[in-house]
């Protein structure tokens, strides 16, 4: 655990120095978590080169210019590529494919373009639109632009779209009945629970309730912002011993001075760092889901929620 903390702090300090005071701390934390979860040390020179390429290949009013979080997300994606120009052009092409599939031109669609990775991208985009529309049928007031990245990720498989949406809604209603607050965060949790299987599992909700209870006994208040992390813990079938290890890791992160005022993000970071190294390798439930895909899904949700949080903060200033 100490090695994780050391690598995270190393990445955090490098990124903070590179990004400067104009970049909000939630974005710096997100970036540090991205590299640390992959057990990588950030290469600032590569990151800087990637940003230069992005600016060269995009217009002044592009989302990649006007939204610093999206710009950094893309930069991290292409930083290690030998042909950064080709990589960014492909991602920009992905965005156009999603727009052609009738997705709105928003920051969330730009994030979703990162996950358009199938051999037939047009087909994946069309399936994503079908998934998005089915989600809206079940939750018309909750489903919005921030759900586009998840719809694109789910479009990678050939699972029945209507059944997946039905299962999401069923989990949502059961969790609400178990005293979870309704809203976007609970919807995101219900979406995550269909990642490994679209089949309804009657044991999932009681299991999540039990995890919540154990975390609250450890004085970790399960606010809605942390609901999505419960989903990843449930998918990983975390046991009591592993949950305690996660709590110990969270305590280490929480006590770091750079996370003093970011307790909720500290828990999200702890989950993102812990799962790939400690539980997924022997988990039969997630045998069909790669660790990288899990990281992508976590990252998609964290990126979209950070966009919402940063946008909300900006509008209140």
For 122-148, the pLDDT digits (tens) are 999 999 999 999 999 999 989 998 899
With 70 as the cut, is the pLDDT of residue 292 above it?
no
With 90 as the cut, is the pLDDT of residue 168 above it?
yes
Answer with the residue of higher pLDDT: 218 or 302. 218
Where residue 280 falls among pLDDT bands split at 50, 70, 90? very low
With 70 as the cut, is the pLDDT of residue 60 above it?
yes
DSSP string, the chain: -HHHHHHHHHHHHHHHHHH-TTS-HHHHHHHHHHHHHTT----HHHHHHHHHHHHHHS-TTSHHHH-HHHHHHHHHHHTT-S-HHHHHHHHHHHHHHHHHTT--SSHHHHHHGGG--SSSHHHHHHHHHHHHHHHHHH-TTT--GGGHHHHHHHTTS---HHHHHHHHHHHHHHHHHTTPPPSHHHHHHHHHTTSS-SS--TTHHHHHHHHHHHHHHTT----GGGHHHHHHHHHTT--HHHHHHHHHHHHHHHTSGGGTT-HHHHHHHHHHHHHHHHTGGG-STTTTS-HHHHHHHHHHHHHHHHHHHHHHHHHT-
With 60 as the cut, is the pLDDT of residue 279 above it?
no
Question: What average pLDDT score do residues 82-107 get?
Answer: 96
pLDDT for 290 equals 56
Question: What average pLDDT score do residues 286-313 get?
Answer: 62
Percent of the chain with pLDDT over 70: 87
pLDDT for 1 equals 82
pLDDT for 293 equals 65
With 80 as the cut, is the pLDDT of residue 216 above it?
yes
**pTM given for the model:** 0.89
């Amino acid at each position: 655990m100490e090695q994780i903390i050391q690598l995270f702090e190393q990445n955090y300090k490098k990124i903070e120095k590179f990004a400067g005071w104009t970049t909000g701390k939630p974005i710096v934390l997100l970036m540090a978590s991205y590299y640390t979860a992959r057990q990588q040390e950030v290469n600032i020179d590569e990151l800087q080169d990637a940003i230069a390429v992005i600016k060269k290949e995009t217009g002044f009013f592009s989302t990649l210019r006007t939204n610093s979080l999206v710009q950094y997300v893309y930069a991290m994606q292409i930083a290690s590529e030998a042909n950064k120009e080709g990589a960014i052009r492909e991602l920009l092409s992905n965005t156009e494919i999603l727009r052609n599939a009738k997705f709105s031109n928003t920051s969330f669609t730009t994030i979703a373009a990162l996950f358009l990775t199938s051999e037939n991208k047009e087909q994946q985009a069309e399936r994503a639109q079908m998934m998005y529309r089915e989600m809206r049928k079940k939750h018309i007031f909750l489903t919005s632009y921030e759900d586009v990245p998840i719809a694109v990720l789910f479009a990678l498989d050939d699972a029945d779209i209507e059944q997946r949406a039905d299962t999401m809604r069923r989990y949502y209603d059961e969790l609400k009945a178990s005293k979870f607050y309704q809203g976007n965060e609970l919807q995101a949790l219900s979406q995550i629970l269909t990642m490994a299987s679209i089949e309804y599992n009657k044991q999932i909700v009681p299991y999540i309730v039990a995890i919540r209870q154990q975390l609250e006994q450890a004085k970790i208040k399960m606010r809605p912002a942390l609901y999505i992390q419960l989903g990843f813990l449930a998918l990983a079938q975390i046991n009591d011993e592993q949950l305690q290890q996660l709590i110990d890791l969270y305590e280490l992160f929480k006590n770091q001075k750079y996370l003093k005022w970011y307790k909720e993000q500290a828990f999200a970071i702890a989950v993102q760092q812990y799962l790939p190294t400690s539980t997924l390798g022997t988990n039969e439930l997630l045998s069909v889901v790669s660790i990288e895909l899990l990281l992508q899904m976590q990252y998609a949700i964290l990126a979209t929620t950070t966009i919402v949080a940063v946008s909300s903060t900006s509008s209140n200033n």
